[in-house]
Amino acid sequence: MINVNNPIPLHVQLKEMLAQEIKKGIYKNKIPSERELMDRFSISRTTVRTAISLLVQDGMLEKIHGKGTFISKRPPVHDWLDSLNSLTDTIKRMGMVPGSRLLKNGITGKAKDIHINEFLNTDMVYTIERLRTADGIPIAVEKHFYDKEIGLQLEHFDLHRTTIYDLLENRLNIDMMEAEQFITCKEVRMEDALHLDIPKGTTVLSVERLITDTHDKPIEYYISYFRPDMYVFRIKTRRNK
Looking at the fold, whether 66 and 100 belong to one and the same domain comes out as no
pLDDT classification of 57: cutoffs 50, 70, 90? confident
Strand, helix or coil for residue 124: coil
User: Long-range pairs for 216-221 at CB < 8 Å and ≥24 separation?
Assistant: 216/177, 216/178, 218/119, 218/120, 218/121, 219/146, 219/150, 219/168, 219/174, 219/176, 220/144, 220/145, 220/146, 220/150, 220/168, 220/176, 221/116, 221/119, 221/120, 221/144, 221/145
Looking at the fold, whether 228 and 183 belong to one and the same domain comes out as yes
If one compares 21 and 212, the residue with the highest pLDDT of the two is 212
Predicted model pTM? 0.68
pLDDT in tens, 122-174: 888 999 999 999 888 899 999 999 999 999 999 999 998 889 999 999 999 99
Q: Taking residues 50-76, what's their average pLDDT?
A: 78
Looking at the fold, whether 95 and 63 belong to one and the same domain comes out as no
Q: What are phi and psi of 8, to 5 degrees?
A: -70, 130
Looking at the fold, whether 120 and 159 belong to one and the same domain comes out as yes
Looking at the fold, whether 21 and 82 belong to one and the same domain comes out as no
Domain that holds residue 106: 77-234
pLDDT in tens, 69-80: 888 766 666 666
Would you state the pLDDT for residue 212?
Answer: 94
Asked whether residue 112 carries a pLDDT value surpassing 80, the answer given is no
Would you state the pLDDT for residue 234?
Answer: 67
CATH number, domain with residue 156 = 3.40.1410.10
Asked whether residue 94 carries a pLDDT value surpassing 70, the answer given is yes
Cβ atoms of 130 and 115 within 8 Å: the answer is no
- Domain total in the chain: 2
Q: Taking residues 3-19, what's their average pLDDT?
A: 88
Looking at the fold, whether 25 and 133 belong to one and the same domain comes out as no
Residue 114 CA, distance from chain mean position: 27
Q: Taking residues 4-27, what's their average pLDDT?
A: 86
Looking at the fold, whether 32 and 14 belong to one and the same domain comes out as yes
Looking at the fold, whether 85 and 58 belong to one and the same domain comes out as no
Poorest-pLDDT segment among 21-25, 108-112, 214-218, 220-224 = 108-112
Q: Taking residues 64-88, what's their average pLDDT?
A: 72
Q: Among 71, 97, 114, which residue terminates a domain?
A: 71
DSSP 216: S
Would you state the pLDDT for residue 192?
Answer: 94
Residue 185 falls inside a structural domain: yes
Q: What is the mean pLDDT of the chain?
A: 86
